[in-house]
Structures are given as C-alpha cells and as structure tokens.
Structure 1
Amino acid sequence: MDVITTHVNADFDCLGAMVAAKKLYPDALMVFPGSQEKSIRDFFLKTTGYMPALTRLKDIDLSRISRLILVDCRHSSRIGRLAEVLKRPDVEVHIYDHHPESAGDISRSGGEIRECGSTTAILAKILMERGIGVNPVEATTMMLGIYEDTGNLTFPSTTTDDYAAASWLLSNGANLNVVSEFVSQELTAEQVSLLNDLLQSLQTVSVNGVDISIAHASLDYYVGDIAVLAHMLRDMENLEALFIVVGMGERVYIVARSRIPEVDVGAILREIGGGGHATAASATVRDQTVIQVMGRLQQLFPDRINPKRTASDLMSSPVKTLSAGTTIAEARELLTRYNVNSMPVMDERMMIGIISLRIVEKALYHGLGSLRVDEYMHTEFMRAEPDTPLNVIQNYIVGQHRRLVPVFSGQELVGVITRTDLLRYMYAGPQGGSEAVYDLGRETPPVRRREVVHLMNKHLSRRVVDILRDLGRVGDELELPVYAIGGFARDLLLGGKNDDIDISVEGDGILFAETFANRHGCRIKSHAKFGTAVIVFPDKAKIDVASTRLEYYETPGALPTVERSSLKMDLYRRDFTVNTLAVRLNPQNFGLLIDYFGACRDLKDKTIRVLHNLSFVEDPTRVFRAVRFEQRLNFQIARHTENLIRNAVKMGFLDKLGGRRLLNELIIILREREPVRAILRMESLGLLRFIHPDLVLDSENIRILDEVKKVVTWFELLYQQDNVETWVVYFLALTSLVSDDSFWETCTRLSVSEHYRERLIDMRVHGEQVLKVMEQKAARENTVRRSDIFFWLRSLSLEVLLYIMAKTRREDVRKFISLYVTQLRGVSCSVTGDDLKSMGLPPGPRYREVLDVVLKARLNGEVSTHADELLLARQELARK
C-alpha cells in the first residue's frame, strides 16, 4: 500500500504537494499525519468541491504500508505515528521537499529534493515534464500551495520554477479568485489582538553585529496562522531577522523569518526540533514555557549567527600616525585635529609604539610638552593581521585594557582597531547613534549593510545603471573600492530621482577617472590638490569623482584642509547622517548599501541630524544646509541638532562665515521648490540677521514672499523659453522692506561682485519707481493704454517684473504686468532704421523718437500693416 503524507499542522503547500503527488502515485492514499492549519480547515468547510479524497490516519493499517511518499517534510519527528513505518527496512521512502538538509533527515530511495520556493512547484515541474495534466480543481489547490509558500511569488526564496509552475497551473484552469480568498484572508479579532501583543513586546538585540528582532506572547487559547502575523510584523517594522514566540496551552510555537544571509533561521530552529529554509522556518515545542524557549534561542544565537568577522572587517585604513620625533605638544594638536584618542608612532616605516591622548595630557600637565613622544609611548602592543579573528582582538583589548590594536600585512601597518570600534561592534543596539570612525568616542551601532540593487533597477534608467556597473568594473581593474555616495544614495532610498552622481574611490580618484574616461570616450577635469575629477560624457552629462578623504578646520568657519583617508572617515566629514550612505559599485558587491552612521534610521524617522557636536563650529554653512534639507525632504531637524544650531548662532560663529560662502548657501535655498518655508525656518532660528541686522520678517514681508511663490509658479506654467533667476526674485522680496543703504550693505556682506551689486540696486530702485507710477496711474484713471504699460516696463528685467508683480496689492497693476509679460513684451514695429534713413533722416536720437511713435501706434491698434507704419513714420518726420 502506498501512502502520501506530509508534516503535522499542514499548510497549503502540504495540501498542494499531496494533490500533485497523487497524480504521480494514482493508487496511493492521501493521509494527514495530524492537525492542519486553520486556513486549511476553513478551505475544506467553505469549498466542499475542492476536498480531495483523504483517508483518516486511524483507518490505515500501518503494517500494510510498503511505500511512504513524504511531501514538504523529511524529518521523522514531524510526521506523527507514521514515523513508526520508517523502522521497517522493507518500506520504500520517496521524499519531495524544498527544505535544506539537516541532521536527522530521513533516508530516501526516491523522490526529489532541491531548492525552490515551494514543494508544490517541484512536483508541478515533474508533472509538466511527464506530460501529466491536472484539472481546474487540482490546479487551484496546487496554486494555493505555491502562493502561500512564496508570499504571492514575492518572497526572496521564490525561484523561476515557482513562476513557471504558477503559469502552467493558470493555463490549466486555476481559479485565482479562490486563491486570493484563502491566501489573503482578513485577520480575525484574535489575530489582531495577538499582533498587538507582539508589537508591544518587540525588541531588537545585536548579536555578533547583526540585528535580531524577537516578539513574544502567551495565550490561553489557540490562534491559527501565526506565520501570517510574522510576515506582517516583519514588513510593518522593516525587520531583517524576526523570531516570534507564542505560547498556546501546553505548546510554544516559533515562527522565524530572515532577509539576510547572516541569519539562517532554518538552521537555528532545527536545533529545537523545527525546520525550514534559511529565510523562513518554524518549530513547535512542548512542555516548556515561552521564557524557556526564548532563553534557548538566545543561547543559540551567538553560535548560529556568525558573520565570521575578522580584523579586516573592522579596521580603519589608512592610518594616521606620528613620527617618533613629534613633540608632546604637537601630538596633542594632531590627536585633536583628527579627533582620535590614540595614534601609532612610527620610526620611518616601522611602527615602534602607541601614544594616547591621556598620556599626552598628563605630560603637558607636568610641563613636558617639548619632549618627544617616543619618550612616553607604549612600546608593547599586539600585532594583528587582516585575517585575525575579532574574538582574539576582543580578548586582547578587554583582557589587557588596551585602547588600540594595529593591523599589519607583513611589516606594513595597514589599519587599526580601537577599543571603541570593538565595543560598538559587540554591544551597540539599533537605537544607538552611529558607527565609530577610528575611535571617535560616539555611541553608535554597527554598520548596516543591505542590498539596494532592486531600488537601482526601479528608480534609475538602464543607462545610469549600466554606467554605475561600468564604474565598478574599472574599480576592479585598478583594485580600487568604488562607491556612489551622498545625496544620490539618499534619494535612491527615498524613491526620488537624483541625476547628480558623486563617486568616492578608496585610492587614487584621478587615476580612476582617467581610466574610466579612456575606456568610455569621455573627457575629465581634474584637481590634483583635492584629489577630485569630473568625468564629462559626450552628451555633457557629468559624474564627480573624489578620493576618499578627511577634512579638518584650523579655525571655526575657515575652509577645510583635506587629506587622503578611508571611506568611513570620508563619510564622517559630511554634514548630516542622511548624506552618509554609500553604495558599493564593484561587481562582487554591486548594490551593497553601507550605513555607518544610522542614516537609514534617520531617513525612516525623517530626521536631520549632525554627526558630531562641533559640526556647526567647524563649518557654520551647515546651519543653512540643515534648513535646506529639512524643507526639501519634509523632515525635521533633530532636537539636539537644533540646540547646536542655536548655540552656534548665540556664539556668533556665523559672523566668521565668508560672504561668498553665505551667498552660495542662500542662493541654493532660494532656488528650492519651497524657499518660503526655508526662509521662515531661518527666521525662527535667528539666521536672517547674519545676512543683515535689519533683516526681520513681518507680515508684509511674508505676504510678498507668498505672492512671489504664486507669481513664479504662474510664470513657469507659461512654458516660455526665458531663463529667470528665481533666487533673485525671492532675494528682492526678502529684502523688500529694508532701506536702499541696508540693501547695499546686504550685498556687500554677501560679497556680491561690485558690478552685479550696482545692477541689483539699480534694478530694485527702478522697479520700485515704476511700480509707484503704475499704482498712481491705475488709481487715477479707469483705463490704461497698452503702450503706457509697454513703455513703463520694457526696461525692467524679468526678475524685477515678477518681483513688483508680487509686491503690488493692486490686482489691476498685476494684470498690467501679466499683459506685458504674456503679450506686449514681444511686440515690435516692422519699420526699421534703414527705412528712416531712406526717407532722408540723418542718424541721431530722432530715430528712437520716430520708431517709438510707430511702436506706440501698433501697440494701441492704430496701425497694423507695414504700409501703415511707413505712412505714420513719414507723417511724424513731416510734422517735426
């Protein structure tokens, strides 16, 4: 007798696979070895026409079974009483399964085991290959199995075989309405309550540098389909690895899901009698409490979650060092400049010791600042290699109270690992700050890494993706790590478009740019002093390339001094955490997102946060960038960051900011889509007084700024070809209520060039005068001729026209300006100076007078043809 069976607590994949196996073994009996999930029971109750021919286990004489066909299972502990059959050597066992191999698997004599999203798909492929058809009822039941185990064909474990099987079943009449009804059922009241309990108990811990999320609950009653809740919880909280532990009566149910290779949930749950895939697994435990099961899991985590990190994974490189002849006083200046607590001491290329900030400070206290560091350095230190396991380094740092471990390749110093680096790696949780950079003394979580290739393919054009891949290939050729960084990576995660691609290279960025340009027919502009280059494509598209570097500031507000450094330190010099993401482009790790400083967390929380407390002291322009990013992204400046901004304002650090740098930041803000909100935010932070002390917003300023937004939007909708500097319009509106002298002082403070400064003041004064004349004329007269409007406005730039259009409170004046911009601005007469010359008029100012008379007549509709204009010109010449 042949028997087809599966595991206890069977799901739709079990049912679909059993139905498929019945087509291969038509004389076999289908038997459930135990209970089924609630979704299966509901399916049988609501769709009696889909009930397969099942035999009850108690009606089976186990001694008569000669062949056992197992689907979606291969472990004896999960098939109930049928495990007794396996003890007989004469029983043939065929197994069809998609779970990975584990200890205790049943030996088989037939069947097929391979990686796939569902067992049903494995059997469906066999049916297809053998030409065995299925009817619509069978196809629908099998489709249920595929859809459930692949999450509607969306889980990472889904394969092409699952898609092919689903297509084949659909062609054989599978009813997707039925599939949708039972795979995507609404949650019951009990499930909603349990989900809430799980959310309340959810916590995340860091194990070997990997975030593991655990939720638990205890119930006095049974709730089915808790795997559905695991998927919902994982997606709601965007968790990488999740274990939910639920006690129901005498049993504890565990469901686990993983999105990352470091966590094989199947391997972990097999240790407690369960099983599954690396990405999805479950287990049922008897006679233990929820607390005991959670304790067992936490015992398993350290050994089973092991990225096998070595020194090369954590070390910072290149290393900042001191020469043996450096004085104690010089050492303090260097340690402070690079914001580190310890540095290796070198005798030419040989490391001979380590000097710490603590020793330096004590030596200075005792008046020893002029002595050399090699007089007081530590000369005993561990010599790690790149492949030294981190647990060895941990034992050294913790056991011997050391601050820094140098890493050598042969005799060459290639990196360092600090105590702070190690502690962050070992213990930091997901709610911390950001990753330490060569011992920066910050409370930070370990670096977060995940793949974003799917986002690149979704949001970027095929050409851009191809270029990024080409950049990575050139990096491999030169053995250089290559990254796309900054705003490009940030906007990729936010789902926005950013065509400004910034590339960082750990090595010679100019060599990299030159090599890429030669390969792809581009040209480059390089700046050797800063290690930067711009790749210019034949279609004028550009990519900025830079060597990874660090910056330090000699004085607050000064321009930074630049030195070559690692990616980590390069990102640390940036303004805000949300701009510190990097995407690896080298082929082996293409699309790997690197997040040292919690940028993903801040993007999720919509927060603008600085990396360190002296950020606004070193570069006060970041204050304005904070406002810009806050408004552009619709984020919120973090409370501590806002406090640092207010402190920088109070301490007057922005007074030291160069006018040109301030002007650049202001122009960028005024070119944003929502500059008014940014201006209001600057006002609330006390920033406008650094542009000019008299610059204070009142209700009239705000009204004009709001009107500018409407006017600029109106002009853009005209789709005219004119280029308008909208920042000038907003700048004129922002300063509209200050005196002419104060306006001049504002331009001087902002280092506006003398020529452009004079042009701005002339534009402003002339525009105000014209506006006054128009408003007076409109108030006195009911009608205004088109020619008057033209001659009032023709000498004004578009920027001033839009400004006075926004400033006026008179709707009729606004209509005059609108008429000029849309209709009158392009009007001209057909009579030319050559025509007047042929009439005998000698060159001189009379030419302009006559032509204006003709133009005035055309504007007012008094002439319409060239002949009419010539006649009028002759009459005007004769009259005078």
Structure 2
Amino acid sequence: MAQGSEPRRPDLADQVWGHLQPADQAWLARLAALAQTAAPQARVALVGGAVRDALLGRTPLDLDVVVDGASVQALAEATGWPLTFHPTYQNATLTLPDGRTADLVQARRETYPVLGANPQPWPGTLEDDLRRRDFGLNALALMVRPKAQPVLLDEVGGLEDLRLRQLRPLYAQSLHEDASRLVRGARLAARLDLQASPALLAQVPQALQLAPRTPRLWAELKLLLQEPRPGRAARCLHTWGAGTLLPGLDLLEALDLWQAEGAQVPWTIYAAVTLAASDHPAGLATRLNLGDRPAALLERARSDRPFAPASPERLLRRLLRPDAYAPLTGRDVVALGVPPGPAVGAALAHLSALRQAGQVCSAAEERAALQTYLGSRP
C-alpha cells in the first residue's frame, strides 16, 4: 500500500464533511450514487483545495471532484444542471443552483512531452490523479460513498504537510515540468500562511529557467495580482529566490499596507505598479494579459490632471509620486478670480505648462503663479 493510502481517520473525514454546505453534501452523495449505479466499482472523491481548507477549519467554496471508473460526461448530464464539457481532459464544469461552479475531473495520469506546455492526459485511477497534483496538501481526498461514511485518502503524506503547514512538491521534477506551480505555491503560501519546503526551494532555479516558455506561469502571476494581499504573495516569491518574476515588491507591499488600513485597492492598481516598476512594461502587460486598463490607469496617474482624493489615480499617484499635490481645478481658479468661460481653460493650460516645466511644485505656488498670470493679462 502506498504511503498513507486510505487511512481510517473517521474524525478527519467527518471534519471535512461537516465543513461542507448541506447542499454540497447532498449533491456529492447523489453524484456518488449515480456513479455506482452506472458502474458498481466507480469512486467519487472530493479532492484538493476543498479538503485542505476544511481541515484548516475554513469553509470550502471551490469544489473539485474526481470520478474514477465512470463517465464524467454522463454523470454531469445526469445532474440536469448547466455544464461545459472539456473533451481533451474529459472534464466537466457544472453550474450549481446557487451560481457557483464545480469541476468534475476524470481520474487521470499526466506526462509532459514538452516542458512548460500543457500535459498529455492518460486514463488513470483516483490514486494516480492524486499523485499528479502540485503539492502534498493539495493531494488529499474525501471519498464519498452513498451508503457509508466518507473516507479520507492521503496517498502522498499530505496530512503531515498540513500539520507542518508546508508546500512540498510531489516529485523532483514537478516545478521543472510545470513552472506555474511555483507561482501557485506563492499564492497559497500568502493566503494560508504556509512555508516552502526544502524540496520546493531546491526546484526554484529550474522553474525560473522554464518560466519564459510556461504560459500558465504568467496566467498565475495575473491571478496573484488579484489575490487579497498580492504583496504577501510577491514577498514569498522574493524570499524563495524568484523575485525577478514580478517587479515592484516594495510598491505591492505598500498597497497591502494601505488595504490593511482600510483603503480600497482594486487589482488594477496592483497591476499598474508592476508596470511602473518594469523595465519593459509593454512586454510585461502582454505576457500577463492585463488588457488596457492598468496601463491607462498608470498613464493617468502620471499626468498632471486633477482627480478626486479617493480615486485610483490619486492613490496610485500618491504611491509613485509621494511629493505630488492636487493641482488647482477649474472651480479653484474661478474662486481666485478667473472669469467663467474660455478663460478658465486658458488658465488651467497655463498652470499645466508650468507644472510640466517644473516651475511650480505645490498648490500654493500654483496660486501665486495664477495671480501673476492674472496680473499680466490686459
């Protein structure tokens, strides 16, 4: 029997089951019954993050289910819920009645004919499917049985990793085959307060070598910028020796601090500061598939246009240019004596030119320059 295979730990199995929402318990039990009706030897297991989170005392929200010995497509269709079927991997994404999604995964093995590219799937067992995963604590499973208590499966020693709160790759070439696992690990470490195992740290140089030809790594970096605290995840990469993957660590951590103090910081600001810190922002934006919004936000923040105090532009400007001030607005110049109408635009254009030339550096200097400007007009 493999290390830790199918331990009889009813206490832990009950803990995982008890952290599931009642509706999720019901449809998982129904799914297991459907599978065994179709094929008596079929097995259905909740795997990965849901099991991990439940054992950490968190309510699982993302549900991944492995099906071994029965057709995923047939089971998905039997639920009667909206679904998308992915024939390459024989997986299905279900839309649950409450609007969440759940993935049904056909048990499989994987090989990597080309490093960094998508893996080649092969039919496999539930145990094979657990062994192909990224980290030990993500390879735990709860086998759901329609007429018996659920069983916790620990095929690779994930319970010990969870006790140590460590991220351990499952084999020596894990990050070499798929460098995106490095960034996924940083996201998990930041979110769940985990540590990198020596085995993970030993594989970082290989992951960095493969990074340029691993598209999924760049997709994971974009997801990192959308984490609750991206600066913490970036700090993990830096600590592990992979800080070159994402520039602007100090700026990202500063944004985390502002969030902790109550500021609303959308992910586009995090993305914008990575572009600001990059030597090749256009290339980075393309690799991360950021779209146009972060670059446009950065351009506005670097301009001398006025923005509301709580706006993303002002927040980003405050971070990138701590000495920046709020320039005078149209309302300000009217209050200082500029007559309404075209003269307002002319006065603002004059002040803008002075700012760009570095001749005014504060709102007080702008007011003085405006008085000089008004006094010089015929």
Q: TM-score, normalised by structure 2?
A: 0.77
Q: Evaluate the alpha carbon distance shift between residue 460 and residue 750 of structure 1 in structure 2; reply closer, same or farther with a 3 A threshold.
A: closer
Equivalent pair of 1:711/1:806 in contact (CA under 8 Å): no
Q: CA deviation at 1:624?
A: 1.0
Is 2:76 the counterpart of 1:513?
A: yes
Aligned to 2:307: 793
Counterparts of 1:210-359 in structure 2 under 5 Å? none
Aligned to 2:50: 488
Question: Does the residue aligned with 1:588 lie in a helix, a strand or coil?
Answer: coil
Is 2:191 the counterpart of 1:653?
A: no
CA-to-aligned-CA distance 1:478-521 (integer Å, 9 cap, x gap): 2331111110011111111221111111121111111122xxxx
Query: What is the distance in 2 between the residues matched to 1:484 and 1:655?
Result: 33
Query: What is the distance in 1 between the residues matched to 2:132 and 2:313?
Result: 40
Which entry has the higher C-alpha Rg, 1 or 2?
1
Aligned to 2:220: 665
Is 2:255 the counterpart of 1:708?
A: yes
Q: CA deviation at 1:566?
A: 0.6
Question: Does the residue aligned with 1:491 lie in a helix, a strand or coil?
Answer: helix
Q: CA deviation at 1:559?
A: 0.9
Q: Evaluate the alpha carbon distance shift between residue 715 and residue 560 of structure 1 in structure 2; reply closer, same or farther with a 3 A threshold.
A: same
Q: Evaluate the alpha carbon distance shift between residue 587 and residue 733 of structure 1 in structure 2; reply closer, same or farther with a 3 A threshold.
A: same
Q: CA deviation at 1:765?
A: 2.2
Query: What is the distance in 2 between the residues matched to 1:751 and 1:551?
Result: 27
Q: Structure 2 counterpart of 1:654, which letter?
A: A
Aligned to 1:466: 26
Q: CA deviation at 1:680?
A: 2.0
Q: Structure 2 counterpart of 1:763, which letter?
A: L
Query: What is the distance in 1 between the residues matched to 2:180 and 2:134?
Result: 10
Q: CA deviation at 1:750?
A: 3.3
Equivalent pair of 2:181/2:217 in contact (CA under 8 Å): no
Q: Evaluate the alpha carbon distance shift between residue 682 and residue 580 of structure 1 in structure 2; reply closer, same or farther with a 3 A threshold.
A: same
Q: Structure 2 counterpart of 1:470, which letter?
A: R
CA-to-aligned-CA distance 1:677-733 (integer Å, 9 cap, x gap): 221222233434345xxx4x5xxx51x33331233345667xxxxxx7x33212222
Question: Does the residue aligned with 1:628 lie in a helix, a strand or coil?
Answer: helix
Fraction of identical pairs, as percent:
23
Aligned to 2:367: none
Q: Choose from 717, 732, 740 the match for 2:272.
A: 732
Q: Evaluate the alpha carbon distance shift between residue 706 and residue 800 of structure 1 in structure 2; reply closer, same or farther with a 3 A threshold.
A: same
Q: Structure 2 counterpart of 1:681, which letter?
A: C
Q: Structure 1 counterpart of 2:71, which letter?
A: D
Aligned to 1:320: none
Q: Evaluate the alpha carbon distance shift between residue 478 and residue 682 of structure 1 in structure 2; reply closer, same or farther with a 3 A threshold.
A: same
CA-to-aligned-CA distance 1:649-685 (integer Å, 9 cap, x gap): 3xx2222222xx2332112222223321221222233
Question: Does the residue aligned with 1:455 lie in a helix, a strand or coil?
Answer: helix
Q: CA deviation at 1:799?
A: 4.2
Equivalent pair of 2:107/2:125 in contact (CA under 8 Å): yes
Question: Does the residue aligned with 1:732 lie in a helix, a strand or coil?
Answer: helix
Is 2:244 the counterpart of 1:689?
A: yes
Aligned to 2:296: 762
Query: What is the distance in 2 between the residues matched to 1:738 and 1:457?
Result: 46
Over the aligned positions, Cα root-mean-square deviation in angstroms equals: 3.1
Equivalent pair of 1:576/1:609 in contact (CA under 8 Å): yes
Q: Evaluate the alpha carbon distance shift between residue 458 and residue 578 of structure 1 in structure 2; reply closer, same or farther with a 3 A threshold.
A: same
Q: CA deviation at 1:457?
A: 5.5
Equivalent pair of 2:91/2:105 in contact (CA under 8 Å): yes
Q: TM-score, normalised by structure 1?
A: 0.35
Relative contact order (C-alpha < 8 Å, sep 6+): which is higher?
A: 2
Question: Does the residue aligned with 2:222 lie in a helix, a strand or coil?
Answer: helix
Equivalent pair of 1:510/1:546 in contact (CA under 8 Å): no
Is 2:320 the counterpart of 1:807?
A: yes
Equivalent pair of 1:532/1:545 in contact (CA under 8 Å): yes
Q: CA deviation at 1:449?
A: 3.6
Q: Structure 1 counterpart of 2:282, which letter?
A: W
CA-to-aligned-CA distance 1:370-420 (integer Å, 9 cap, x gap): xxxxxxxxxxxxxxxxxxxxxxxxxxxxxxxxxxxxxxxxxxxxxxxxxxx
Is 2:105 the counterpart of 1:591?
A: no
Query: What is the distance in 2 between the residues matched to 1:801 and 1:585?
Result: 52
Q: Structure 2 counterpart of 1:708, which letter?
A: L
Query: What is the distance in 2 between the residues matched to 1:627 and 1:577?
Result: 15
Question: Does the residue aligned with 1:535 lie in a helix, a strand or coil?
Answer: strand
Q: Evaluate the alpha carbon distance shift between residue 502 and residue 590 of structure 1 in structure 2; reply closer, same or farther with a 3 A threshold.
A: farther
Q: Which 5+ residue runs of structure 2 have no aligned equivalent? A: 330-340, 346-378
Q: Evaluate the alpha carbon distance shift between residue 598 and residue 453 of structure 1 in structure 2; reply closer, same or farther with a 3 A threshold.
A: closer
Query: What is the distance in 1 between the residues matched to 2:201 and 2:190?
Result: 14
Q: Structure 1 counterpart of 2:253, which letter?
A: D
Q: Structure 1 counterpart of 2:19, which letter?
A: H
Q: Evaluate the alpha carbon distance shift between residue 751 and residue 797 of structure 1 in structure 2; reply closer, same or farther with a 3 A threshold.
A: farther
Q: CA deviation at 1:535?
A: 1.8
Counterparts of 1:605-624 in structure 2 under 5 Å? 605-624=164-183
Query: What is the distance in 2 between the residues matched to 1:715 and 1:625?
Result: 27
Query: What is the distance in 1 between the residues matched to 2:90 and 2:310?
Result: 41
Is 2:63 the counterpart of 1:501?
A: yes
Equivalent pair of 1:510/1:547 in contact (CA under 8 Å): no
Question: Does the residue aligned with 1:562 lie in a helix, a strand or coil?
Answer: strand
Is 2:108 the counterpart of 1:549?
A: yes
Q: CA deviation at 1:446?
A: 4.6
Aligned to 2:284: 746
Q: Evaluate the alpha carbon distance shift between residue 798 and residue 573 of structure 1 in structure 2; reply closer, same or farther with a 3 A threshold.
A: farther
Question: Does the residue aligned with 1:495 lie in a helix, a strand or coil?
Answer: coil
Q: Structure 1 counterpart of 2:272, which letter?
A: L
Question: Does the residue aligned with 2:93 lie in a helix, a strand or coil?
Answer: strand
Equivalent pair of 2:16/2:55 in contact (CA under 8 Å): no
Query: What is the distance in 1 between the residues matched to 2:157 and 2:50?
Result: 17
Equivalent pair of 2:231/2:255 in contact (CA under 8 Å): no
Q: Evaluate the alpha carbon distance shift between residue 711 and residue 641 of structure 1 in structure 2; reply closer, same or farther with a 3 A threshold.
A: closer
Q: CA deviation at 1:460?
A: 2.8
Q: CA deviation at 1:454?
A: 3.0
Equivalent pair of 1:667/1:727 in contact (CA under 8 Å): no
Query: What is the distance in 1 between the residues matched to 2:176 and 2:16?
Result: 36
Q: Structure 1 counterpart of 2:72, which letter?
A: G
Query: What is the distance in 2 between the residues matched to 1:797 and 1:655?
Result: 37
Counterparts of 1:88-103 in structure 2 under 5 Å? none
Q: Choose from 68, 87, 91 the match for 1:532.
A: 91
How many residues matched? 330
Q: Choose from 117, 133, 141 the match for 1:582.
A: 141
Question: Does the residue aligned with 1:593 lie in a helix, a strand or coil?
Answer: strand
Q: CA deviation at 1:571?
A: 1.1
CA-to-aligned-CA distance 1:5-29 (integer Å, 9 cap, x gap): xxxxxxxxxxxxxxxxxxxxxxxxx
Is 2:77 the counterpart of 1:563?
A: no
CA-to-aligned-CA distance 1:714-755 (integer Å, 9 cap, x gap): 5667xxxxxx7x33212222343345xx21122234355xxx
Query: What is the distance in 1 between the residues matched to 2:104 and 2:17?
Result: 22
Q: Structure 2 counterpart of 1:516, which letter?
A: T
Q: Structure 2 counterpart of 1:809, which letter?
A: P
Aligned to 2:359: none
Q: Evaluate the alpha carbon distance shift between residue 681 and residue 710 of structure 1 in structure 2; reply closer, same or farther with a 3 A threshold.
A: closer
Q: Structure 2 counterpart of 1:472, which letter?
A: A
Query: What is the distance in 1 between the residues matched to 2:101 and 2:289?
Result: 29
Query: What is the distance in 1 between the residues matched to 2:26 and 2:207?
Result: 44
Query: What is the distance in 1 between the residues matched to 2:212 and 2:201?
Result: 18
Equivalent pair of 1:469/1:590 in contact (CA under 8 Å): no
Equivalent pair of 2:13/2:152 in contact (CA under 8 Å): no
